[in-house]
Structure 1
């Protein structure tokens, strides 16, 4: 074991989070301490979703082509198939076993193109939907990793994880600072990271998502209540994360036809950031129409059925009886009968009086 190289790598890792433009030099030090020329730090969010992939002194095609071959899939990439518990070493003998379980030779062709068939690796941290790992990569001429190389690799792995966590914490602080500024302006806003995950949210936006009429948090992801709206929203997020677009303006509709204006804006990307840094600012406009929560208020206050309450809210939002029948897929006779019941329970005699009363107590 080359202790001088090992200490140099540890020193570089202790400082790189505060100077992220030095990651390539730092990975070069890690590789040298492990007896090779290249080290890799990579995050997997799915077969072709690679939030970051840093490898020193590498052909750019190694980075750009990796997602295109589904490089994050254990059914394609025998290195990914070898992934175990955090800090569990996998090396050439494990690669050979994993190859036997993979019929497709796509990844073999890929590593042959760049002459990087050997090396060792480990997972640094993982949670559902995300794995961050490190590896050192070796050419044919380098041969297999020695036991000393593997020992050095495992000695450095905790230091790499600490550097990653420190840089992520810095990015997290940036998200919260932005969120606090927006909160001071009482904005309906969220910040998404490079994974599309919600990193921070203002209290006003959190309340809207908890209501869930139009938008909601599904795990760490922002989603729309209606499938059609969610498809539009997810495409807009994906386009901004992949830099196909810098912004998007959407009108998203809930199940009760409530609408929310949603403006997505790309946050300036820093060249050496990880995927957890702020990437998208989402600004929401409070819906001007009444929604499902207001319908529940009418149920509690006047004893309306939930169907009657939605009809009353639709009327207060300006829909005619014909539009209500069409929207709710009910017959005109059913809607007329519901209006009669609503009038009786709310002690009004006509629609104009009903709308005025609802607006007065709910808006």
Structure 2
């Protein structure tokens, strides 16, 4: 049986450890100490150095005790702010934060689940194939841990990522690619009170461009949003330059490119209208994730749900995670719902039963 008190206490210990992105070392040290007590192979990579963090991703190898193909499980160690000084509150089988911070169930519940599942297999002497655990860094700040990971330390072909909301049994089979966009609008400065007609307002160009953009929900697979606009200064100077930051996402690569082309055209047309210029640059932050219906990993997870009488459901999500990066690196990937709710807010909570149910499911997946 999954040990309710043990997984709860582990989770409470984890959320009390401060771990904003780039500063996950204390959590990493705590997890390594747990794994070292078991004598597992533990290796830290250099992803932290690549992105300016104080630790790297942690990889743990658990030797096989039975037959089957090796499999990996992943969860991230960082949390979104405000995440320092978390005071967890347990009430009626639910864990909340005190209300001043996030709880950190995203994704410390995922960490606790995989560790408890492994302990369950060991206590019951249940055979399992070779298992790898990946404790990643900087997922919340742009998946920099996964992007800079040493893939040689994760040789398993398939990875289960424990990092999604939704009921236990939820399986994410589709997630969008994201393009980060930077647009620089260029006008011409002039004295706004004496010779305004000789100036070209970069703010006016930007306003014209934004007015004609299709934004927010584009279609069922595609979204676009403007994050910030910066530039300008004194009201007596026609603004020469402003910078606009935006993003676009889609599970359909053609739709994403179409949205990017549309946004760029709006900017170019606006610049031409007023005689200014613009630079439109974007970068694909992470690729789209598509799980094939014939995936053996998907079949295994759904059968595991049936084995423990748990209802499963396939879903699409509008957010990205380490799963997108791992999928782009060639891994077979599934993201599982672990029951966390209202993540990235100070109202975040998770039911203890969600963690125990998820640990039971993960243990079932881990079996030979």
TM range (shorter): under 0.3
Structure ranking higher in strand proportion: 2
Query: Whose radius of gyration is greater, 1 or 2?
Result: 1
Higher helix share goes to which structure? 1
Q: TM-score, normalised by structure 2?
A: 0.23
Higher relative contact order (CA 8 A, sep 6+): 2
Q: Tell me the TM-score normalised to structure 1 length.
A: 0.23
